Chains A and B, each alone.
Chain A
């Protein structure tokens, strides 16, 4: 298989769409990243920092309610808090419609795919009642603007995001010998370990427990505050210099620049270069990617100091990006958005979905397919291997959705005989085409096309 526009739209986009032209060339795919971010503008999602005020308000109401729980107005106070929390959560859950609408209507679908890839690479889960549903806001502010820039800038944005600092417990880590420790508080290794293991070097990278420990010390001071976001607190910074991966950082007065210097260095570490290149290759091309392609990507990364555009370009320029077509299975989110894209689900009808319908059509079925949206079980995010998704229970949930959801969302469905062309373009095979014709109802015809390997794979 060589480049075809349909393959480009399926592998490096959100799938085919009746009214949207597939990219004509590799340049066409990359061009999607070069212009302004149109989908973000058309379907806005509140960036995290715009929520700090609301977070502070809800958190104050909670404190007031807690303090006054024995007073005569206890009920009103608790009501006020719960109302504010409900409003916040409704607002945050509302991000589902713009998220889906972006993927369904965008002419820059590679941008959506990369945003999800990097949000998964830097997985966070909202751990408290304020941030429970705030992951899209984190992605909007911290991930999305950096996906076409340098890896080091993305890394620094993530490591100063309140969501990451809270998720991996950095927020409460304190230099044991700092003034702020008062002899009681101390280190938490969580973020330091995952930063090396998952975010940069990879678990096979050249680091040891001593590096984890030293990095945990170096990261002290990186905290957040509910109403302000990132706050560097010199008082809790572990005194003295730390040696991480053979280089020394800090030693002078506490400064966030020491951490940034480390992040700049680790972003260019050869193990990071390989790890990031391989991870992109695995996500977009194959669970067993071509080593030559990874080497090209790593060369581009090293030559440009981690310019991600150059890495993407090296991937798309390699023949393996096209010859490996079909080796990846769509994750549940990819499956659902690509189905909605080819079905042309209108953004207005997504906006109108209430909470119970969102659960019934989208998030509930995704959970059954094995992907509880925004709730992966650990900081390593979602699995890549086809075998992790195509399990009896996971595949059954995909088939159930394919057969039932389109007709639940639409009153009328397309004719399966034309839908097979719309959905699969030049990757349609004889068997799916036959099934589209032989199905007893439109509903089953559409369902079979969506459940087919030709649609599930990319």
Chain B
């Protein structure tokens, strides 16, 4: 098929512009590189700082209720009890069957190396850069998921998908990745395409991006030769698709469809975690979205779920105590959620530091006892066979991998 498309383009180009087609990047058939094995990794960035102490509650510690009298911690949590000490937030109750099957796990009291200033934006930059705190995340040249692709044998441009409209810095860098939003389309006459390619020719950013867009839209069947019309039902459909494109289940469904094809790695973001006020309402909605994303992945991946690891990470946790407005402020240690048939679930990983004031970070936040990067590195080790040295120098430079927690089934 790629050959036929190229040939048609060649002819069109020759007639439209009357010049050589040799230099056209459109001539290069899309590389359907052999994917690096069958294992799949989905990274969900929870933007806005998920309150790990609410998502995965240490109900066995009486201080939790004392610190958070207004956040619903005293409600019965029998239905979401995990291991006698921790319980899931009720909004995650539908994930309990996954826990029982060993497809859901938690790593608690985790953080990136980011400390003290508690800025969402710096915190997210560092989370996505995957470096130590000695590097300014905002100045980072690439993200850790891209660096993993750089060392992954047989990774092609369709191996990894960044999904949605928000920038995914963890996936940016030298290795080719695909980036698309579920509502994306690109419809142009062949002539317009050729002319556009000429116009973009000398502008590397526009050129490379448009080539990616055309290739992705085409391979996903989201491109046509007909011009997109705005007065017809096209337009209503486009508006509708655009407004749904950020929904958790739409993002997850798009991810699953890619992972069912060539893709092995997908990443997207979920927001709504910055619960400074009326947290019970806000986090219920946000966790509901996370739950929807995980369940959508499971149902749409079908048998591939068994080879999938989903990891949901956030920039930092929130204060151990509730603030004065039934919410929590920016903190440090938090939780990461792991799901998928590839995960050795049914357990909470990590060293629990306790909630006594002296055990808190700066006497206010959950003390982080392990680095999110270390867990992710071990996942990569297990899923893709990357060695510890590469992981600790290339993917997460400067990371001292802790002992293997044995996250994989």
Contact = CB atoms under 8 A, between A and B. Distances in A.
Interface of A: 168-169, 172-174, 176, 181, 185-190, 193, 197, 203, 208-209, 212, 329, 356, 359-361, 364-365, 367-368, 370, 377-378, 380, 383, 386-388, 390-397, 399-400, 403-405, 407-408, 431-432, 434-435, 438-440, 443-444, 447-448, 451-453, 456-457
Interface stretch (B227-235, B350-358, B384-392): B227-235
Contact-residue bracket for chain B = 35 or more
B360 to A, nearest CB: 13
28 contacts: A169-B325, A172-B324, A174-B325, A190-B277, A193-B118, A203-B119, A364-B238, A365-B238, A368-B165, A370-B165, A378-B274, A390-B206, A390-B209, A391-B165, A392-B178, A393-B179, A393-B181, A396-B185, A396-B186, A399-B213, A403-B187, A431-B201, A431-B202, A434-B198, A439-B192, A444-B188, A453-B199, A456-B206
Given A197-B119, A399-B196, A431-B201, A190 B243 contact: no
A391 B17 CA distance: 27
Given A189-B330, A209-B116, A453-B199, A395 B213 contact: yes
A145 to B, nearest CB: 29
A403 B121 contact: no
Contacts of B227: 403-404, 443-444
Contacts of A452: 199-200
A396 B189 contact: no
Given A190-B329, A392-B180, A400 B195 contact: no
B283 interface: no
B119 A396 contact: no
B183 A368 contact: yes
A386 to B, nearest CB: 6
B126 to A, nearest CB: 12
B394 interface: no
Contacts of A361: 230
Contacts of A453: 199-200, 203, 206
Contact of B276 (A190, A364, A390, A434): A190
B220 to A, nearest CB: 11
Contacts of B192: 403, 439-440, 444, 447-448
B167 interface: yes
B217 interface: yes
Contacts of A394: 165
Given A186-B323, A383-B167, A453-B199, 13 more contacts: A169-B325, A189-B330, A208-B116, A359-B239, A360-B236, A364-B243, A368-B238, A387-B205, A392-B184, A392-B210, A408-B235, A435-B199, A444-B189
Contact of B271 (A174, A370, A377, A456): A377
Interface string B345-388: 00000000000000000100000000000000000000000000
